[in-house]
């Protein structure tokens, strides 16, 4: 949710009231930006309830557009509330965005960075859930030398980890600069500064480090499946040999 307005003390005399009224009306005009990767950035909506109402009535009814929804807890972790004011230069400090103009392009640049931060928050939540779900695997290996999961469960977990790794790595929305700045780069630095404020680069590095942890876990689980398969084959061979010995003894007993 984005809301706020600012006054300009440099406006002289009777023009102050008129200018202030214009600023308030401008700041109070609801506006939103919808991104193809599933993020929505609201500007000047009255409250969170109004935002949710708009999403429910206007967007969530379009099933073909929305596709599969994320976990509600993941969505909650990705929500950010930031105020905005107008100033002489662009800056973001202490969750207050200082806009330099009233141009939609500037708000779009900020919205792009906010949306990317929210998308990254979704992936951070998914990674955290995956790591917590498998946190006892190393301990099981250390104590018992094996993982207390059947082959089907291990295979499912391998698939989930593989899906998480490739979803994050192949999502160009996190890596690439928006194409809009190729044609008009006036507010590209606004976008860059907003990304820096939300520490997107540092967070991406942390995500990549966690992905490496998952990759190691992925290998461990694959080895466990192979080990269980090899043990099963060994037992099959043992039983076949045992059966052959029994038949040989039976045949020898009958011939005597």
DSSP 70-116: PPHHHHHHT----EEEE-SS-EEETTEEEES---HHHHHHHHHHHHH
Cα–Cα distance, 140 to 148 (Å, whole number): 7
Structure tokens at 231: 């043990």
Cα–Cα distance, 135 to 114 (Å, whole number): 31
Report in angstroms the alpha-carbon separations of 175 from 152, 170, 195, 200, 217. Answer: 34, 9, 12, 10, 25
Residue 212, pLDDT above cutoff 70: yes
pLDDT digits (tens, 9 = 90+) for 87-140: 999 999 999 999 999 999 999 999 999 999 999 999 999 989 988 888 888 788
| Residue 66 vs residue 114, higher pLDDT | 114
Output the CA torsion sign for 152, 157, 160, 161.
Answer: negative
pLDDT digits (tens, 9 = 90+) for 35-57: 988 899 999 998 899 999 999 99
**Strand-strand pairing, 40-43 and 31-34:** antiparallel
pLDDT at 142: 79
22-31, 172-181, 225-234: the lowest-pLDDT one? 22-31
Quick check: 28 and 5 in contact, CB under 8 A?
A: yes
Query: Residue 99, Cβ neighbours under 10 Å: how many?
Result: 21
Q: Provide the pLDDT confidence category of residue 28 given band limits of 50, 70 and 90.
A: low
Residue 25, pLDDT above cutoff 70: no
Q: What is the pTM of this model?
A: 0.73
């Amino acid at each position: 949710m984005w809301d706020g307005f600012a006054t300009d003390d440099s406006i002289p005399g009777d023009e102050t009231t008129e200018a202030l009224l214009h600023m308030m009306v401008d700041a109070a005009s609801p506006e939103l930006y919808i991104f193809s990767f599933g993020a929505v950035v609201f500007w000047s909506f009255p409250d969170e309830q109004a935002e949710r109402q708009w999403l429910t009535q206007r967007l969530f009814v379009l099933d073909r557009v929305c596709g599969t929804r994320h976990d509600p807890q993941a969505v909650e972790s990705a929500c950010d509330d930031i105020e905005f004011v107008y100033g002489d230069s662009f800056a973001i400090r202490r969750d207050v965005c200082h806009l330099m103009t009233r141009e939609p392009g500037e708000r779009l640049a900020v919205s792009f960075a906010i949306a990317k931060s929210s998308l990254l928050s979704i992936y951070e939540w998914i990674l955290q859930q995956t790591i917590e779900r498998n946190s006892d695997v190393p301990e099981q290996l250390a104590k018992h030398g094996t993982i207390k999961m059947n082959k089907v469960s291990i295979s499912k977990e391998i698939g989930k980890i593989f899906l998480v790794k490739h979803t994050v790595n192949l999502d160009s929305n996190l890596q690439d600069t928006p194409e809009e700045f190729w044609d008009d780069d006036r507010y590209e630095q606004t976008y860059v500064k907003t990304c820096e404020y939300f520490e997107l680069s540092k967070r991406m590095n942390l995500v990549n480090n966690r992905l490496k942890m998952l990759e190691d876990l992925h290998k461990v689980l694959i080895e466990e499946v192979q080990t269980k398969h090899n043990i099963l084959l060994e037992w099959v061979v043992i039983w076949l040999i045992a059966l052959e010995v029994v038949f040989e003894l039976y045949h020898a007993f009958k011939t005597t």
